[in-house]
Structure 1
Amino acid sequence: MIRLPDENGALRTYRPRAEPADAVLGPPAAARPPSSRTVFAAAHVVADRFRANAEGTGGETGGRSAALDWDATLAFRRHLWSYGLCVAEAMDTAQRGMGLDWRAAAELIERSAAEARAVGGRIACGVGTDQLPPGTHDLTAVRGAYEEQAELVEKCGAQPVLMASRALAATARGPGDYLDVYGHLLRQTARPVVLHWLGSMFDPALEGYWGSSDLDTATETFLRIIEEHPGKVDGVKVSLLDAEREVVLRRRLPEGVRCYTGDDFNYPGLVAGDELGHSDALLGVFDPLAPLAADAVRRLDTGDTEGFRAVLDPTVALSRHLFRAPTRFYKTGVVLLAWLAGHQDHFVMAGGMQSARSLPHLARAYELADGLGLFPDPGLAEGRMRRLLEVQGVEA
């Protein structure tokens, strides 16, 4: 038994699971990628706890770059590939712009892409403009920053994900500037890219992206960029936490352009799809859910939609908890679960982000994850949770 704090200041008694769920005892015997859906897990990074980690920089230019534990960081990517999942690298889940600056992200991309080649895993990497200082810039500087990062990603043999840019959001005067910048980039890319629409709930600095705070107007600009550059866009990654809007957008995409859901609230229904189509996935929550996600999607491979939903629907409560407002702090819960699961030996994050969530929030994340059987060694997870509670003055 363990006593866990709640948000009312009380302690409740919880009985941890004795054994992990059958689905997470180990990787599938054949770690082939699912055939019915393309599934990316956006991966977190493991900080080097013995070195200063960009405290106070917010991951932006200036200050000290994040120091990473490369062995643990790359081992976690091998863990994801072992289940047949694809890895989305150097994106929001990796604390991009919230502890991880471009210098650290560039090294992460190079190392992870090399690891992908070694194990035969698929990888896509975030391309942004975060080498620029905060504030407004001329469009030439924004394009140049994107080009620098895209060149590195393509040189490494990875697929580019054109991420939403804080610099472009601050600089653009309207939809025309987005058409200009993205059109310029898409004309140069050597392979089809993923376009990422990250909502302001994930990053308030991206309010009004695509030139309008009205999402219907923004959608028209987004679709125009795709339609004007046929063959250049593999898919779109939509992180708006609005399932109905995603379905409408998905149905309007040109043939051959995938919709990678980034909706960490509604992913089971969006990936299962309907008679008119489905979403693929590029999800931060698939970092902690990798074993269950892989098991679920393989059920879709055999046409077992009910089995897929039976595995994945129960995970939504955990995901909604991790991604509750302020949504951008979801990484703290993701890293907590990686520590509790034994994927890393500490709970320290770049930029000190381990303090971004309250102790009751973390305790509830532990409880929900344990209930799903996500911990390969429930005893280890319980012991680590007790240590975290005791450090903060709770006699568990």
Structure 2
Amino acid sequence: MSAVDAMRERKEIVWLNPDLKAVRPRFEMKGYKFVHMKAAQSRLMRFLPYIASAFPETAPKKGVIESELIPIPAVQERLNSCGANIRGKVFLKDDAHLPIAGSVKARGGIHEVLKIAETLAQRAGMLWPTDNYGRIDSDEFRQFYSQYRIQVGSTGNLGISIGRTAARLGFRAVVHMSGDAKEWKKQLLRSEGVLVKEYAGDYSEAVANGRKESEADPNSFFIDDENSEDLFFGYSTAAMRVSVQLAKRDIPVDAKHPLFVYLPCGVGGAPGGITFGFKQLFGPYVHCFFAEPVESPCVTLGMATGEHEKICVQDIGLTGRTLADGLACGRPSGFVCSMMEELMSGAFTVCDERLTEYQQMVRELENIRLEPSACAGFKGLEDICREGSAFAEYLKANGLTELMENAVHIVWATGGGLMPD
């Protein structure tokens, strides 16, 4: 049975990328280089004084928006007791508890809003790169930004990231939310002064409406999750942060110590950007797999068929409806699919029931609260070393089977930190 036929039947599958290349660190991909990731990191650093001032919860870390890399041996032991045979060290990257947004979207979303704010202020002669950006947290700047709108289409988490940041700066923030967005996410945004527009349809409808409305207003900026380079490179900076966290633990990533990263995937921006970042740093020694729900495997479908954004999950009879609302995207980002052609190792799908089981397991064993979307990566971790799994073919083909005792696994927990009790 082909991967597409299996997806059509809502089976949990593993798709291995036949076009994966062993790129070297600091490579160039379709005109994009390490310097693009470094520029995003530098911008976030310039804004540290502003972030620390405007969002007091970040003050203890001087405005740095970062999450913990948490060892989860109890989860590894539980999965192994069920036949997983996971070898190596296992970590959870807890982006669910990133400040401001409570999700991985804090990385890309906040970066793009800050870039818009910086560009506007510099053009107006109000800001120079050498300034202390803490001065942006002032009535003068809020009044200046209030003449502009920032809009985005979202299933929830990206809207929280962009809406909260834009509103705090003084922009008139508008979030166009799809029918599967959780009510608590809408209420949170409204409490911050964000205008929430609701749609009965899916993510693509919300994005299309937001884009159309923004195009009609010359003072409006639309943050396009399907095509944004600034989101992508904001996400990519996560790899730089993780490389430091690994180094502090004396954990190498090299030919004898492979790194595996399991990334929940919606339209593809966050996992794509993070993969680009890791590949820039570690080249062929890092292996990135995307995790998607069986009802909305849009990137897996786009990559497996080679159609990229020209195909959506509804084309093969899927609904796009899933408990994992943060991953409920029917059509992938064409930009991300193009960038991932030679970089992503593969993708896998996971059913909603299993997401709930993983969510409960992490809460029970590690006392970490995650939303269902954030748990998709555990399916890859569970199967990576399992005898007879499709991953075994990947390990053998890449000479990794005998190295797994030295492997490091990172399950990326993408959201849920702001969930109400």
TM-score (norm 2): 0.29
TM-score (norm 1): 0.31
